[in-house]
Amino acid sequence: MTKQELSAAVEIMIGAPSCCGELRDAGRKYLDAVGTSGEKAAFDALLAEIKDDVCTLDETIPFFESERGAQIFGAEKARAMAAHARELKARGEKWCDCAACASGVKILACAAGK
């Protein structure tokens, strides 16, 4: 992944409605640091935040089915999101496929050299 592709993935991730505030802040700090002496430190901080925030399906399903999930998304939307996550899991997927998580997984794979 080129630096431009990485920056584009970060932009998609932080622009996603599902991106939490901490991850959005880390993404913005990384984008602001690109090309500066602080870029590596900002990237390392971004990776740490992605590892904390990107969710597996085993993590998202119980959340969507919880009272908190219903409060955040509304009961109907939370049920639909849980059903979608179950469909993904049944197909053998591991990760949430929302724009924030999908971009985060790509960034982690890039950092791991995959």
Q: What is the mean pLDDT of residues 81-93?
A: 96
Residue 59 clears pLDDT 70, i.e. is over it: yes
At residue 73, the 3 state secondary structure works out as helix
Per-residue confidence (pLDDT) for residue 72, from 0 to 100: 87
Give the Cα separation of 63 and 57 in Å (integer).
Answer: 10
Over residues 11-49, the pLDDT tens digits come to: 999 999 888 899 999 999 999 999 999 999 999 999 999
Does the pLDDT value for residue 114 go beyond 70?
no
CA distance 29 to 110: 18
Label residue 30 exposed, middle or buried (CB < 10 Å: 0-12, 13-18, 19+). Answer: buried
Q: What is the pLDDT of residue 27?
A: 98
Please tell me the pTM assigned to this model.
0.84
